[in-house]
Structure 1
Amino acid sequence: MHKKFYLNKFLFLIVVSFCFLSLNILQASESLKINKIIINGNNHVKKYTIMNRLPWKPGEDFDESKSAIAINNVYNLGYFRQVKIKKEILKHHKVNIYVKVEEKKLLAKLEFEGNKVIDSKKIREELALDKLTTVDEETGHRICNGIKKLYADESYHKTEVKYLIIPDPNVPEKVTAKFIVDQGPKSNVVRVNFIGNTKIPERKLRKMITTREEWLLGFVEDAGKFKQDDLEMDKHRIEFLYRDKGYLTTTVQKADVKYSKENKNIEVTFYIKEGDQFKISKIDVSNEDNDEKVTTEKQLEYISLEENKPYSQSKMAESITSLRDYWGTMGYINADVYPQVKPDEETKSVNITFFVEPGKKLYVNRVNITGNTFTRDKVIRRQIDLEEGDLITTKKLNRSKANVEYLSFFERGGVNWKIHRLNDEKANLELNVKETKTGNANVGISYGSDKFNPRPSLKGQVSVEKKNLFGMGFDAGAMMQGNRHGFQRLEATYYDPALFDSDSSVFATIYKRWEEYEQWANVNVMPKESTLGASGRFGFLLPKWDKRLQFVTELGIENIKNNQPHAVGANSEVFEPLVRQKFQQGTLSWLCLDLIKDTRNHKIYPNHGYRIMWHNKIAPPAINLEYSFIKSELEGSWYTPLIGDDNLVFMIHGKTGVVTPVGGTYITQDTRKKKIIPYKELFHMGGQDTVRGFIWGGIEPAWITNAPLGAKYMIQLNVELQFPLIPDYSMRGHLFYDAGAGWNTPKDEITNKAFIKRDKFDLRHAVGFGLNLTQPMPAKIDWGYKLDRDKAAGESAHEFHLNMNYAW
C-alpha cells in the first residue's frame, strides 16, 4: 500500500515538472520583438544613414544571427573604426538593440611630399582619394601600399612611404594626412638567368616569359620592367613550355631576384628541375551518347595529339576545344570534355582518355541583344542565323558572331554570346556588343605620291563619313581633295545594306574628279582630264546558297573632258594619233555585273576569312558613241592569324584582269573611227593600289618618253604580315611583298610599234613595310623597295605611298 502511494506521488511530480518545462520552452521559443534601436557614438554621420544599413526594423522579429551582417554593413560605410552591437531583453518578449560606433577622424586635406616621379594629381586619381572623407591608421597603410604599387609600375621597386596623421589645432575632429615618399632609384632588369635547363635552350625560354632584359628598343615591349605578378606567371609559362615538349614532371622550384649597383640593377634567376620526356602510348575517347553517328574513330579525327609522339600541353588544349566544337555542331552546346592523363614512370609514357559528357541539346527560347545604345536591334538581328525554336549549334553561333563583327560598328572583341539556360531543353541567347566610334570628320594635309601624281606633292583633304547613320546601318560620306594645282576629287556616297529591310542593298555615288598625267612628255600641255559621273549599285544576297554571297549590278554614266593635249617635238606625227586616242573626250555609260563572296570578320582590319569577287564591266556600243569595251576581273584575298587572334596576321591578295574592245565605229568630221577603250579603263600597274615600290604606270606599256599607255592584261600578287602597334588597333604595321605586271596596250593608232616599250609580260617585284592608321585620320602609308630595279631606265630604288585607309 505504501509502495503504491509513493509510486503515484513520484509519477505526479514527473508530470508537474514536465508541464513547467514545456511552458518554459514555449515561452523561450516565442520570438523577441524589437522595441527600439539605439545608436551611440555618431557625431557626424546621421542616424538614418546607419539605420538604413541595419537588417532590423523596430516592431520586427529580432534575428540575432544577422548581427555579423549588421556590423559589416555599418563598417563598410567607411566612416567608423569600430562597430559594436549589444541587446537588452525587456519584459513581454521585447528587446532593445544598442549600436555603438567609433568614428574615424574627418579628413581636412591630403598632402604629399617627395613624390617627384608621380605627381599628386595622378596619385589622387589612381587611388580615388578625392572621394575620401575620413582617415585612420588602416586607411593610411592602404594608401601607402597603393603609392608603392604606383611607383613599382614605374620601375621604382625600393620606394618607401610613411604617413602622418596631424590633428587640426582648431577643429579636433579633423586631421591632415601627410604622405612622405622616399622614391629610391629606378630599377631595371639587366639579366635573366636560367639554371638547370638542359633540354630546352635559353633563347626559347626567354621568348616564353614577359620578364625581359633591358635593351635599346625595349620600351616597345616593356623590356627591363620588373613586376612581381609577371614573375609568378613566368614560372608557370616555363613549366607550360616543358609540358608542351613532353616533360611532364618539370618544375620551376623558385625565382630569385637580386638587386645590385645601389638597387638600380635587377637580376632574375629561374631554378628549373627538369624531368624525363613522356610519349603518348594510347589515345581513347569515351562518351555517354548513344548516337550511332558519333563513333570513336570520328572523334579521334578532332584530336591533334598523336600516339608515339611526345605529349603536348598546347595540343591537349586544342583537342579539348576541337572535341567541344564538334559536339557543339550537333547541338550539344554544353558538352564537357575531361581528359584523363595516366603517366607511367617506368616506360616514360602516358595513356590519355577523353571523357565526353554531351549533356542535352538546347533550343532557342529567345534571342536578346544588349549593349547597343545607338545601333537598332534589327540591324544586328538580321545578321543572326538563330531564331526562336532553333537548335543551338557552335556553327550558327560562330557564324552569327562573325556576321555582326563584319558590320564594323563594334569594338574588336566586342561581340560575344552568353547562354542563359532555362531548363534542360531551352535557353535564352544574349548577344552583347560594345559599340565603337563610326563617324569621322577630318581635315588633313599630307605629302607623298599617289595614283595620279607619281611625283611627291602636297595635298589637302576634307572628309566627312558616318557609318551606321541613325543607327540604321546606313553609310554616308563626302570628300574634297586637292593638290597644288587645284581640286582633285569631290565625291558624295550613300549605302543602304538592307533596302526596306530586305536582302537587297543599294549604293549611290556622285563625283567630280580632276586627274593630271605628269608622266606624259612631248605634249604641248600636261594632260588634264575632268570626269563628272554618277552610278548606282544594287546588290542582292543569295541566302539559299550562302548568306555571304551577293550578286551586284551597277549602272553608271560619266562625262569625260580634257584640255586637248597635242604632241610636239620629235616624232610628233607618230605620237599625235596616240595622244588623241588616249585622251578621247566623250560620254561613257556602263553596266556592271559582279558576284561577291565575303567571309571576312571585319571590313577594315580582318584577321580571318576571305573575299572573292568576279567583276564584269560592259560599255555596249549601242549606247556609247565613242567608247565600247568589256572588262573582266577576278580578285581574291585571304586572311588567317598566325600568332594569337591579331598579334600576327597573314594576308594574301591576288588579282587578274582583261579588257578588250567590243567593236563598232562612229563618224566624226567625215572620218570613221573605231570605238575605243577609255584610257582610265585600261589597267595601270604600279602604285599603292597595285604594286608598291613603283610609281603609277611604272610597270605597264609605255611610250619611249615614259608616258604610260595602259594595258589590256594584268596580274597582281600582294602578301602581307600584319601586326598591331597599339592595343586599340588604331595603328598597325605590315611587311609586304608585291608582284605584278601589265602588258599589251591597244595599238590601233600606232604606226610604228618600235616606239612602245614594256609591252610584253614582265613580272616585277618589290618588298617593304608600312602603317595603317585610323586615328587621327584614316591613312595607309607604305615604303616599297624594288627587288629588280632597272637602273638603266632611271628607276628609283624605292617609293613612298600615302592614301586613305582600306583593306584588300
Structure 2
Amino acid sequence: MNGVVKRAAGALLVMYAAGAWAQSYDFQIDNIKLEGVQRLEPGTVLTYLPVSVGDQMTEARAQQSIRALYDSGLFQNVGLDRQGNTLIVNVSERPEIASFKLEGNKAIGGKKLKEALKKQGLAQGELYKRSLLDSLQQELRRQYYANGYYSVKIKTNVKHLGNNRVAIDIKIKEGPIASIKDINIIGNHEFTDDQLKSVFKLKSHKPFYDHPLTFWKHPDRYSREKLVGDLESLNSFYQNRGYIRFNVSSVQVSLSPDKKNVFITINVDEGPQYKIKNYKFAGDMIVPEATLQRLVKVKDGEIFSRKKVQESTDAITSGMADFGYAFASVDPLTKIDDDKKTVDLTFFVNPGKRTYVNQIVFEGNEKTNDQTLRREMRQFEGAPYSRRAVQRSRTRLARLPFMQDVKVNTKKVPGSDDLVNVDYDVTERAAGQINAGIGYSDSEGFLINGGVKHTNFRGTGDTIQVNASTNQYTKTVSGSFTNPYFTPEGVSRTISAFYRKTNQLYSSSSSYDIDSFGAAMTFNFPITEYSTLRAGLGLEQDTIQSVYNSNGTLGVSQQVAKFVRENGRTANTYELRTGFDRDTRNRTYFATRGSDTQLLFNIKGPGSDLEYYKASLEHQRYFRVGSWIPKLSDKVVLQVDGKVGQTGVWGKGTDVPPYDNFFAGGAQSVRGFRSGGLGPQDSFGNAYGGKFLTTLQTDLVIPTFLKSDNKTTRLSLFYDMGNAYRNASDFSFSRMGHSAGVAFDWFTPFFGLLRVSYAPYVSKAERQDSTNRFQFSFGANF
C-alpha cells in the first residue's frame, strides 16, 4: 500500500513540475546550479541528471529529469527552475540513519531479522524512508499475531539530529502469549468432539502435567498455519472413513477482550458415508492385471478410504517402477452415486516408456573409493530401471559400517524420455576407531587398553583391526584383516591371530594363569541376497599355569584343579568354524526394521587334545511400533535380541575348558549385572561360567529432541533377562536375572560409539550374583 502511495505521489509531483515548466520557454542549457545539497557531492547528483550543459531543455526533458532524481531514492523533494539559461535544480536530501535500535523483540527476530532489515535499508548508514519503517511495523505486528502475541505494543520513535541525520528507536513490549481457551466443533454427529480433536496439533490450554510429553511444544499457541494443517487432518479423518462429501463450512477465530485467550469454532457438514461398489483397472495394461491386483489395498464393498486409495495408487506406481516404468502415472478416478451411497473406483494406468539407467553417480564419498560403493549395486547401468533394485542398493550402502546415511534420487536425462540417472548421496561416518582407556580400582588395579579398527581401510571397504589390553589380570594382543570382496562374487575372507596371557577372566572370577595363542582363517559365502554361509579353520594352544602355589597349596579353585588333573594343562586344538547368517536390517548401526539371525557352530576337530563343540543362535529383530499406534512417531522402534548358547564334549576330554564356558551379565548380555556376574560359581565363590546360556535384551527406542535422532543417537528403555547354567538340564525361567532401565547410544565424532546404561531395577537369579547398575563404554574416532 505504501509503495502505491509513494508512486502516485511521485507521479503527481512530476506532473506538477512538468506543468509549471510548461509556462517557461525552451532554452539551451549554459550552466547547471544545484541547491539543497548537503551530504552528497555535486557530481553524484549530476550523474542521475539525464541532461547536461549544451543540451536543449524541453518540457519532456524536464519531466524525465525530475523522475530520474526521484527514482535514485536519494531525495525527498525535487524541483527545477530557470535563471536565464541556467538550470536550477532544487533538491531535499533524505536524511541518513545515524543509529537504528530494535529492543524488546525476544520472540521474533535475532541476527536473521537484523540482516533482513539491513538488506531492506533499515540500518545505520542507510537513507531513511518512512515507508519502509511503516512496512516494518506492520510486518512485525503480523509476525507477533501469527505467534500468539496479540497484546504486543510496538512504539517507533524517529529523532531528527543535526546535519540531516535521524536516530530510529523501535521498542517492543511483547506481552503474554494468547493461549487457546477452547476449540468448539459444531455439526458433528458421527464422531465425538474428543475423537475429532485428537487429530489436531492445536490443543486447548491445559496444565503441563496433563501432557508431560508434549507440553514443551506449546500446542495451545494459536497459529494460522497450524490451524490450516489441522483442518486438512480433519478432512482426511472423514475421507478415510467414507465421508467423501465432508466439508468445513466455516471457521471463526475470536479473541477475548484482554487478548489473552483464543476461541476457535469450526462448523462442519459430515454428509453420508459411502462404500466402494467395485474397482477396476484401465489404461495401458502392460503389467499383468493379476500382479496389480496384489498391490491394491481396497476391497469391493468396504467403506471408502482416501488413505487406502492413495496407498493403492502409490503401490501400483512403485510396482510399475519395478518393471522398468520409472515415470508411470496412476490416477484413481471415482464415480460417486449419491443415491446408493457407493463409489466406482477406476485406477487409470499410464506406464509411459520403459526406462533404462544411463548412469549411476555417487556423491559425498570423500574417503571411499567409487568401486567400493559400486560393487554394492543391485541396479546396473544400461539395464532396465527397477525401483526395487535401486532401493536394495541404497540399503546395502546404508548397511556399510562406515556409512551414516544414504539418499537416492532418480533424475531424467535431459532430452530423453526413456533414460534416467540414479544419484546416491552418501554421508560417511568416521571409519577409523581408536579404543583407549585408563583407570584404577581396588579390585582391578590399573587398567590400560587400546585398539585400532578401520572398517574402510584406504577407501576399499576392507577392515583392519589391532587390539592390545593390559590390566592386573589380562594381557592381550590381537589382530585381524577382513576383505569383504575376496572374490568378485562377494566371498569375504578374514585372517586373524591373537596372544593372550590371563590369570583371571573377569574381575569377579577366580584366578588361574592361562597362556593362549592362535590364528584362524574364515570365509563367508553369499547364498542369497540376504544370507551367507560361514566356513573356516582355526589353530589354538591353551596352557593353564601355576596350579599350585610355591608352598604346595592349591592356587586355583577345585573346579580348575579337577579339569587339569583329568585333561592336562596344555591343549593343542584345531577348530572347524561353520555358521549361517541371514541379515535383512536396513542398516548396521541404529537399525529400525528387519532382522539378523546368526547361527554359529564351532567344533574342536578330531585329533585335537580336547574335542568339544560350541554353538550359539542369536536373533535380532526390529519392529516399528509407530505403525501399530498412530499417535506414536515412526521413530519408535522395538528392538528384541535373544541368544541361546550350548557347549559340550563330543570326544576326547572329560569337560569343556573353563575359559570356553558361557558367561552372563554385562552390557552385551544382561545389563545391570557385572560381566560374568550371573551364573555358576566355583569353590571360591567367583564366576566360573556354564555350558548353557540364554539371554534376552528388549529395547523400546523412543524419539528425542535431537536432530540426529535414530541416525547417530538412540535413547531406549530396556528390559533384560537371562543367565548361564552349569548344564542345559539346569535351565529354569525362575532362575533368570532381570533388569530394567534406560540406555543411550551415541556415535560421537570424537569418542566413537558411546554406550551408557543405568538399571534402577535389578532382580538377582541367585543371592550371590554380582550387580553393576551403571555401565558405559566408548572409543575415539579418527
Q: Would you say same fold, with TM above 0.5?
A: yes
* 1:338-417 aligned within 5 A: 338-412=331-405, 414-417=406-409
C-alpha offsets along residues 228-275 of structure 1, whole Å, 9 cap, x if unaligned? 312210111111112112222223345544555954555545443323
- CA shift, 1:394, in A, is 1.6
Structure 2 distance, partners of 1:688, 1:317, is 45
Instruction: Return the match for 1:639 from 613, 617, 622.
Output: 622
C-alpha offsets along residues 22-47 of structure 1, whole Å, 9 cap, x if unaligned? xxxxxxxxxxxxxxxxxxx9989x99
Partner-residue secondary structure (3-state), 1:438 = coil
Conservation of the 8 A alpha-carbon contact between 2:559 and 2:683: no
C-alpha offsets along residues 144-185 of structure 1, whole Å, 9 cap, x if unaligned? 577668767986454444555667745x5x765543222212
Structure 1 equivalent of residue 604 of structure 2: 619
Cα 1:572–1:361 change in 2 (3 A) is: closer
Deviates more, 1:458-467 or 1:428-437: 458-467
Letter in structure 1 aligned against 2:740: G
Instruction: Return the match for 1:113 from 96, 99, 103.
Output: 103
Instruction: Return the match for 1:427 from 391, 394, 419.
Output: 419
- CA shift, 1:590, in A, is 3.8
Structure 2 distance, partners of 1:148, 1:459, is 63
Deviates more, 1:242-251 or 1:392-401: 242-251
Instruction: Return the match for 2:755 from 780, 796, 802.
Output: 780
Conservation of the 8 A alpha-carbon contact between 1:743 and 1:761: no
Structure 2 distance, partners of 1:711, 1:210, is 54
Structure 1 equivalent of residue 638 of structure 2: 650
Structure 2 distance, partners of 1:765, 1:199, is 51
Instruction: Return the match for 2:713 from 731, 743, 758.
Output: 731
Partner-residue secondary structure (3-state), 2:315 = helix
- CA shift, 1:319, in A, is 0.8
- CA shift, 1:701, in A, is 4.0
* 1:590-609 aligned within 5 A: 590-609=575-594
Partner-residue secondary structure (3-state), 1:417 = strand
C-alpha offsets along residues 500-552 of structure 1, whole Å, 9 cap, x if unaligned? 877344446666776553545xxxxx527677667565544537x43764646
Structure 1 distance, partners of 2:217, 2:119, is 31
Instruction: Return the match for 1:497 from 484, 492, 495.
Output: 484
Conservation of the 8 A alpha-carbon contact between 2:560 and 2:658: no
C-alpha offsets along residues 341-376 of structure 1, whole Å, 9 cap, x if unaligned? 222222222221111111221112222223434433
* 1:223-242 aligned within 5 A: 223-242=219-238
- CA shift, 1:497, in A, is 3.2
Partner-residue secondary structure (3-state), 2:377 = coil
- Residues 1:685 and 2:669 are matched in the alignment: no
Letter in structure 2 aligned against 1:114: G
- Residues 1:183 and 2:167 are matched in the alignment: no
Cα 1:368–1:731 change in 2 (3 A) is: closer
Letter in structure 2 aligned against 1:724: P
Cα 1:716–1:141 change in 2 (3 A) is: farther
Partner-residue secondary structure (3-state), 1:235 = helix
- Residues 1:721 and 2:662 are matched in the alignment: no
Instruction: Return the match for 1:527 from 503, 511, 515.
Output: 511
Cα 1:402–1:185 change in 2 (3 A) is: same
Deviates more, 1:534-543 or 1:201-210: 534-543
Structure 1 equivalent of residue 506 of structure 2: 517
Cα 1:660–1:492 change in 2 (3 A) is: same
Structure 2 distance, partners of 1:686, 1:342, is 64
Partner-residue secondary structure (3-state), 2:395 = helix
Letter in structure 2 aligned against 1:179: I
Conservation of the 8 A alpha-carbon contact between 2:329 and 2:349: yes
Conservation of the 8 A alpha-carbon contact between 2:740 and 2:762: no
Cα 1:266–1:793 change in 2 (3 A) is: farther
Conservation of the 8 A alpha-carbon contact between 1:324 and 1:337: yes
* 1:324-339 aligned within 5 A: 324-339=317-332
Letter in structure 1 aligned against 2:409: W
Deviates more, 1:734-743 or 1:224-233: 734-743
Structure 1 distance, partners of 2:348, 2:429, is 45
Conservation of the 8 A alpha-carbon contact between 2:354 and 2:384: yes
C-alpha offsets along residues 728-785 of structure 1, whole Å, 9 cap, x if unaligned? 1243233445454543449xxxxxxxxxx95667673746343332154523344557
Letter in structure 2 aligned against 1:238: L
Cα 1:604–1:177 change in 2 (3 A) is: farther
Cα 1:375–1:148 change in 2 (3 A) is: farther
Conservation of the 8 A alpha-carbon contact between 2:674 and 2:770: no
* 1:65-144 aligned within 5 A: 110-115=100-105, 121=111, 123-124=113-114, 134=126, 136-137=129-130, 140=133
- CA shift, 1:490, in A, is 7.0
C-alpha offsets along residues 309-352 of structure 1, whole Å, 9 cap, x if unaligned? 21112211211111112222222222211111222222222221
- Residues 1:288 and 2:263 are matched in the alignment: no
Structure 2 distance, partners of 1:227, 1:440, is 47
Conservation of the 8 A alpha-carbon contact between 1:559 and 1:586: yes
Structure 1 equivalent of residue 740 of structure 2: 768
Structure 2 equivalent of residue 64 of structure 1: none
Structure 1 distance, partners of 2:218, 2:537, is 51
Cα 1:344–1:106 change in 2 (3 A) is: farther
Structure 2 distance, partners of 1:262, 1:558, is 85
Structure 2 equivalent of residue 659 of structure 1: 647
Partner-residue secondary structure (3-state), 1:205 = helix
- CA shift, 1:219, in A, is 4.4
Conservation of the 8 A alpha-carbon contact between 2:626 and 2:634: yes
Instruction: Return the match for 1:244 from 240, 243, 249.
Output: 240
Once the two structures are aligned, what percentage of the paired residues are identical? Answer: 19
C-alpha offsets along residues 37-76 of structure 1, whole Å, 9 cap, x if unaligned? xxxx9989x99xx99xxxxxxxxxxxxxxxxxxx9xxx9x
Structure 1 distance, partners of 2:545, 2:109, is 63
Structure 2 equivalent of residue 5 of structure 1: none
Structure 2 distance, partners of 1:134, 1:631, is 81
- CA shift, 1:697, in A, is 4.5
Cα 1:795–1:744 change in 2 (3 A) is: closer
Cα 1:199–1:709 change in 2 (3 A) is: farther
Instruction: Return the match for 2:691 from 708, 712, 728.
Output: 712
Structure 2 distance, partners of 1:424, 1:228, is 43
Structure 2 distance, partners of 1:207, 1:460, is 55
Structure 2 distance, partners of 1:660, 1:416, is 49
Letter in structure 2 aligned against 1:743: Y
Structure 2 equivalent of residue 542 of structure 1: 526
C-alpha offsets along residues 561-610 of structure 1, whole Å, 9 cap, x if unaligned? 677588999x9868853698999676766443333232222111112222
Aligned residues: 679
TM-score, reference length from structure 2: 0.71
- CA shift, 1:124, in A, is 3.7
Cα 1:552–1:429 change in 2 (3 A) is: farther
Conservation of the 8 A alpha-carbon contact between 1:250 and 1:273: yes
TM-score, reference length from structure 1: 0.69
Unaligned runs of 5+ in 1: 1-40, 52-70, 83-101, 521-525, 665-673, 747-756
Cα 1:786–1:323 change in 2 (3 A) is: same
Structure 2 equivalent of residue 31 of structure 1: none
Deviates more, 1:397-406 or 1:104-113: 104-113
Structure 2 distance, partners of 1:436, 1:327, is 32
